[in-house]
Amino acid sequence: MDTNTRTERRQLRWESVGLILRSASGIAWDGCHKIYVLMDQPQVEQMRQYGYTASDSSLMLAADAGPELMLDTLQQWFRASCPLRFIDAVRTVDGETDSNEGFTALIPQFEEDFWPEPAGAE
């Protein structure tokens, strides 16, 4: 695989995540591999119920940080995550019948362009 092409695809993927962050309510990370872009306030509240907090740096609210800081933080979390890492956008879906209906993979687990992580990659 052409490294430049891979690098360009990685950059485009991060740019797409940055665009999504413009309308996000926050981000959350379990400290291992689950990284979420929270698309609405009910998802923020759900993460709080799961124990994610700003004080332990597992939750960042859009009201406290702009899209650029959230993107930088997502990239830091992604680099610090274990190999099972992924980033999903999650939104509340009223009356959902499929438990995965509100999830959209932004960077799926084992995404070819991010797996394995090239040495020195940002």
User: Does 15 reside within a domain?
Assistant: yes
pLDDT of residue 98: 65
Q: Does the pLDDT at position 119 exceed 90?
A: no
Strands 59-61 and 26-29 turn out to be antiparallel
User: Does 80 reside within a domain?
Assistant: yes
State the residue for tokens 């020195």: 120
More confident residue, 100 or 112: 112
Residue 90: closest CA among 52, 55, 64:
52
User: Does 118 reside within a domain?
Assistant: no
Q: How many domains is the chain partitioned into structurally?
A: 1
User: Does 116 reside within a domain?
Assistant: no
Low-confidence winner among 19-23, 56-60, 113-117 (lowest mean pLDDT)? 113-117
pLDDT tens-digit series, residues 28-86: 999 999 999 999 999 999 999 999 998 888 999 999 999 999 999 999 999 999 889 99
The range of the structural domain enclosing residue 88 comes to 3-110
Q: Which two tokens stand for residue 54?
A: 């700003």
